[in-house]
Amino acid sequence: MQLLNVQPVVANGEGNKWKLIKNENEIRVYILENNSSDIVKAKARTIVNSPINKIKSMLDDISHRHEWIPYLKNSIALSEYKNNKRIEYSHFSAPWPASDRDFVYQIELMSKSNKQLVYKMRSTESSSMPENKNRIRAELYESIYTLTALNKETTVVDLVFHADPKGWLPNWIINIVQRVLPYKILRNLKARLKLPG
């Protein structure tokens, strides 16, 4: 019920164009088809029985993200935080015969209020991480985590994801991944938050 009472974070002009495609394990997944890309944008939403600061600590723990983000082999920071922004690198495994993918992106942490935190990520370039011939440099159009505290122990987590893995993968396969990945990320995040410590 609470899921319906919190306003979702949407880009300008997207409004009610999101289409619900999955509602499982208290995680809702929506897609948005747009004219600017053949790749669908996906959004997942859930309520987590954890305080907002605990979830923030998990998102900030770059050295352990691979333990709950599917296919992620490792992530590293390429710069220090400055004005709440930094450059990061992530390397994702891909099943044979596809090549691994990697991303170089800027992450920005914004505080909308004392009850809401927003992480925005978008591809960028960095001389600190040139392209690797054994991997395909993918493009992250947009990835947004929005944490909204309902109370001291409960948080709504929204994840918007829109990326192009590049390479020879057809769009229909890419769109399957787009639809599934945000769900798996939030499912794993919830499971990880239940672990002791």
Blockwise average pLDDT, block size 10, the chain, 197 residues: 43 69 96 84 97 95 96 96 95 88 96 90 95 95 97 97 91 90 97 85
What is the pLDDT at residue 112? 74
What is the pLDDT at residue 192? 95
3-state percent breakdown (helix, strand, coil) of the chain, nearest 5: 25, 45, 30
**Domain 17-193 CATH superfamily:** START domain (3.30.530.20)
What is the pLDDT at residue 37? 81
Helix (H) or strand (E) holding 179: helix 171-193
d(CA 128, CA 50): 35
What is the pLDDT at residue 10? 44
C-alpha distances out from residue 80 to 74, 76, 77, Å: 18, 11, 7
Which pTM value belongs to this model?
0.89
What is the pLDDT at residue 169? 84
